[in-house]
Homo-oligomer: A and B are copies of this chain.
């Protein structure tokens, strides 16, 4: 978490003015509307209305609508990957670490529901340049690496495909935003625990087929 006020003009296209409360507010509003209606169906008019501004005035904060989407997903993308890597670095035996990672990742996805919704649903609406700066493959690599580690444990199925397993784990987790409701019967912790047990136990040799 870099402490930056008056963000320096580094990189290609940093936000014009970062960290003001108003900028964060705009990001939140945009994320919420993007999540509800979809990027392409969202009008700058929609955002400006909720922001309390004429739509042209938004260009004081953004360079283009595309960049606004990028700024929204960049935050949650970076945060999620950092969080995932932190979990993956825990000092636990590989199997339990995998369990903790799934629990924690599901928890993150739910804690950042609107952001992850936009990231997962509108990712391919980004320009090719912006998309290249968010290599979602990294998520898969982290989880696949953990599966490789776990395979050293004799309890784990030796013929487990790390990539395929990682994709199954991430797929299950990434689907949560489509059905989770804060007033639902299950808490984020219960969901994370259930997913972790289901998926990690599925990697172990047990009563099932080999």
Total contacting residues, chain A, CB less than 8 A: 40
A40-B40, A124-B38, A161-B186 as given contacts; A197 in contact with B168, CB under 8 Å: no
CA distance A200 to B203 in the complex (A): 10
CA distance A198 to B167 in the complex (A): 12
- A164, closest chain B residue (CB): B194
Instruction: Check B191–A200 contact: CB distance below 8 A.
Output: no
With beta carbons under 8 angstroms apart, the residue of B38, B155, B195, B206 that contacts A168 is B195
CA distance A193 to B41 in the complex (A): 38
Q: Please tell me which stretch of A1-9, A72-80, A174-182 contacts chain B, meaning at least 4 of its Cβ atoms lie within 8 angstroms of it.
A: A174-182
A194: B residues at CB distance < 8 A: 161, 164-165, 168
- A170, closest chain B residue (CB): B175
Instruction: Check A200–B206 contact: CB distance below 8 A.
Output: no
Instruction: Check A176–B171 contact: CB distance below 8 A.
Output: yes
CA distance A169 to B169 in the complex (A): 10
Instruction: Check B171–A197 contact: CB distance below 8 A.
Output: no
Instruction: Check B199–A208 contact: CB distance below 8 A.
Output: no
Instruction: Check B203–A205 contact: CB distance below 8 A.
Output: no
A189 to chain B, nearest CB (A): 12
Query: What residues make up the interface of A, taking CB atoms closer than 8 Å to B?
Result: 38, 40-41, 121, 124-125, 155, 161, 164-165, 167-176, 178-179, 186, 190-191, 194-195, 197-209
